[in-house]
């Protein structure tokens, strides 16, 4: 993921040292270092795991080592002089354990304090990145299912920006299609003033109208619309939805640039013609299709009646993003069920020459970030008692209300004064932050059970607990955890999995808790150096919260 900045991470520095060692000990092997954290810190901090694989490659050749441990010994002998590794040891058949120098850790902490957290950001080879996320549908209220796309996409965008990328945050809203024609037709017939009746639309009303219109569309063959005269009504519908979306995004602290399906309408005809001319698309049963090897159904880029669907829009969008936006990387954040669709879109774009061949290291790169469902505590799809999908605004209201009650109770029990403005701010930060963390801490690839009680439980939640020499073992553990922050960022962007950041944040808070329990900070001989560790931890935690889109809470 990093371009030339491996040395930003400790793991990268070790990779560089062992690359030199491998080149020195076995120059003909052209072996890349395999560096991982040690499972047991008792044996070391990191491990080089090349010996066994390299032994297999060299076996049978003249002068080859007799066993993997000989390979490991030769690698260690080839390490250049450095101030990073304090000690090495061999384990098992040839694992090389490394203990990082305490002086090195102290120097990294000092650099963090003097230069700031931003200097720890791993550089990217991708300079301009489009992140397509959230993507609700016009005329429908945002529900809990939109939460995952919104906050996963926001975290990815935040992290890319932290690493220096120019990020275009796109909200590919569903604002065009047959459904709007049927909704507008139903509105025209239902209201006394027809479409000429001027009013500010309400999304809740529109959703009820949409359901009624959908039923009529399914039941009545002559119920069709789509006339150009309906554009004004369509615009009112979009404006109403836009107001609701923006209210939700404001509460979540998420910024997006709206670019709905309608934006690509003028491009659809030319895109389909280009696909035909290049032999990527062909006519089948009257429809224009792209057949992708290994896929049972084709990608339909133009229907048999001449109309266009979301596949047409997605093809136009990917072309526009790589040719006009000049994106080096395009990331789509949707539910995992759409993965087969995007596989076909990406394959068609490669055949059209808009993307490099699959597996190529050359930009532009495309990634689909799929995620699982939000389930209720019963393991079924998260719904209200009446069986409706949970509205996102209701989820946020409930989280805020519960946190407000919790904070108020704690302050009353402790005898602290209750300031309503401060209480409101704390409830928002705690409630919305808890909703985000409860989601992001899970692997995005799996479904997860949502529980208000578990979400608001204070125990085990890092959001709510919160001349330099490393002498105590706990000091060293904490310094190591702080220095490993860039690796968490690097891993998150490599896999596009926000839980890499939440796992790191949780581990850092646990390590800090152990340090704070075992090491006296104020009033001891090591007060100055330990205060530096405390401040360094706080800076890293604040940066983690910023990447996750969570407002830190300094007092409960």
Q: Would you place residue 100 in the very low, low, confident or very high pLDDT band (cuts 50, 70, 90)?
A: very high
* Statement: residue 381 has pLDDT above 80: no
Long-range interactions of 497-501: CB distance < 8 A, separation 24+:
497/443, 497/444, 497/445, 498/151, 498/152, 498/155, 498/156, 498/440, 498/444, 498/548, 499/440, 499/441, 499/442, 499/443, 499/444, 501/155, 501/159, 501/440, 501/544, 501/547, 501/548
Q: Which residues contact 186 (CB under 8 A, 6 or more apart)?
A: 209, 212, 213, 216
Residue 322, pLDDT score? 97
CB atoms within 10 A of CB 519: 18
Cα–Cα distance measured from residue 92 to residue 113, given in angstroms and rounded to the nearest whole number: 39
Indicate if the alpha-carbon torsion angle 5, 8, 10, 16 is positive or negative: positive
Indicate if the alpha-carbon torsion angle 66, 68, 69, 73 is positive or negative: positive
Q: Would you place residue 179 in the very low, low, confident or very high pLDDT band (cuts 50, 70, 90)?
A: low
At 181, give phi and psi (nearest 5°): -60, -45
Residue 1, pLDDT score? 47
Residue 474, pLDDT score? 92
CB 237 within 8 A of CB 180: yes
Q: Of 17-26, 50-59, 145-154, 383-392, where does mean pLDDT reach its minimum?
A: 383-392
Phi/psi-derived region of residue 45, left when phi > 0, alpha when psi is between -120 and 50, beta in every other case: alpha
Residue 338, pLDDT score? 94
Q: Would you place residue 386 in the very low, low, confident or very high pLDDT band (cuts 50, 70, 90)?
A: low
Two structure tokens written together for 6: 């491996």
Percent of the chain with pLDDT over 90: 60
In residues, how long is the chain? 556
Q: Would you place residue 250 in the very low, low, confident or very high pLDDT band (cuts 50, 70, 90)?
A: very high
Residue 4, pLDDT score? 37
Cα–Cα distance measured from residue 390 to residue 396, given in angstroms and rounded to the nearest whole number: 11
User: Average of pLDDT values for 511-538?
Assistant: 91
Q: What is the CATH number of domain 6-100?
A: 3.30.1360.70
Residue 418, pLDDT score? 76
At 170, give phi and psi (nearest 5°): -105, 135
Higher pLDDT, 513 or 187: 513
Average pLDDT along the chain:
85
Please tell me the pTM assigned to this model.
Answer: 0.86
Higher pLDDT, 61 or 400: 400
Residues of the chain with CATH 3.30.1360.70: 6-100
Q: Of 98-107, 408-417, 421-430, 503-512, where does mean pLDDT reach its minimum?
A: 408-417
* Statement: residue 486 has pLDDT above 90: yes
Residue 203, pLDDT score? 42
Residue 165, pLDDT score? 96
For the beta sheet containing 85-91, the strands, ordered from the edge strand earlier in sequence to the opposite edge, are 35-37, 46-48, 95-100, 85-91
Residue 457, pLDDT score? 63
CB 470 within 8 A of CB 106: yes
Residue 185, pLDDT score? 52
């Amino acid at each position: 993921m990093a371009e030339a900045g491996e040395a930003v991470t400790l793991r990268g520095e070790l990779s560089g040292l062992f690359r030199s060692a491998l080149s020195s000990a076995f120059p003909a092997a052209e072996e890349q270092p395999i560096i991982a954290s040690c499972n047991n810190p008792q044996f070391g901090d990191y491990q080089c795991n090349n010996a066994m694989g390299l032994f297999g490659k060299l076996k049978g050749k003249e002068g080859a080592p007799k066993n993997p441990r000989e390979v490991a010994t030769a690698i260690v002998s080839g390490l250049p002089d450095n101030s990073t590794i304090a000690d090495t040891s061999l384990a098992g058949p040839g694992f090389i354990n490394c203990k990082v120098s305490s002086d090195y850790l102290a120097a990294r902490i000092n650099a963090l304090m003097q230069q700031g957290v931003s200097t720890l950001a791993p550089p990217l080879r991708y300079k301009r990145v489009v992140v397509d996320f959230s993507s609700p549908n016009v005329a429908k209220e945002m529900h809990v299912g939109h939460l995952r796309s919104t906050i996963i996409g926001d975290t990815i965008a935040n992290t890319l920006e932290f690493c220096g990328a120019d990020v275009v945050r796109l909200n590919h809203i569903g604002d065009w299609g047959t459904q709007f024609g049927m909704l507008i037709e139903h509105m025209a017939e239902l209201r006394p003033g027809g479409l000429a009746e001027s009013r500010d639309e309400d999304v809740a009303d529109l959703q009820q109208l949409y359901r009624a219109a959908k039923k009529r569309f399914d039941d009545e063959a002559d119920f069709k619309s789509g006339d150009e005269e309906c554009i004004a009504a369509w615009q009112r519908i979009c404006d109403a939805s836009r107001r609701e979306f923006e209210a939700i995004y404001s509460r979540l602290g998420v910024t997006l640039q709206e670019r709905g399906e309608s934006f690509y309408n003028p491009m659809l005809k030319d895109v389909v013609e280009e696909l035909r001319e290049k032999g990527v698309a062909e006519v089948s049963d009257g429809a224009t299709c792209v057949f992708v090897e290994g896929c049972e159904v084709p990608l339909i880029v133009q229907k048999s009646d001449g109309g266009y669907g979301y596949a047409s829009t997605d093809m136009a969008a990917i072309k526009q993003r790589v040719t006009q936006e000049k994106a080096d990387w395009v990331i789509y954040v949707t539910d995992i069920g759409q993965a087969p669709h995007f596989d076909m879109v990406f394959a068609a774009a490669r055949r059209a020459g808009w993307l490099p061949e699959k597996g190529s290291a050359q930009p532009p790169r495309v990634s689909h970030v799929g995620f699982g469902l939000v389930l209720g505590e019963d393991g079924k799809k998260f719904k209200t008692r009446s069986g409706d999908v949970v509205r996102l605004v209701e989820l946020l209201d409930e989280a805020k209300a519960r946190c407000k009650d919790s904070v108020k109770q704690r302050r009353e029990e402790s005898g602290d004064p209750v300031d309503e403005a401060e209480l409101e701010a704390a409830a928002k930060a705690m409630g919305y932050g808890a909703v985000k963390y409860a989601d992001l801490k899970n692997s995005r690839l799996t479904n997860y059970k949502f529980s208000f009680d578990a979400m608001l439980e204070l125990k085990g939640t890092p959001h709510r607990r919160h001349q330099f020499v490393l002498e105590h073992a706990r000091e060293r553990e904490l310094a190591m955890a702080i220095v490993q922050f860039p690796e968490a960022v690097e891993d998150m962007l490599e896999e596009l999995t926000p839980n890499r950041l939440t796992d790191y944040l949780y581990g850092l808070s646990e390590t800090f808790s152990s340090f704070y329990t075992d090491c006296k900070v104020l009033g001891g001989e090591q007060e100055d150096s330990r205060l530096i560790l405390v401040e360094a931890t706080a800076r890293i935690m604040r940066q983690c919260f910023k990447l996750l889109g969570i407002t830190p809470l300094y007092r409960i």
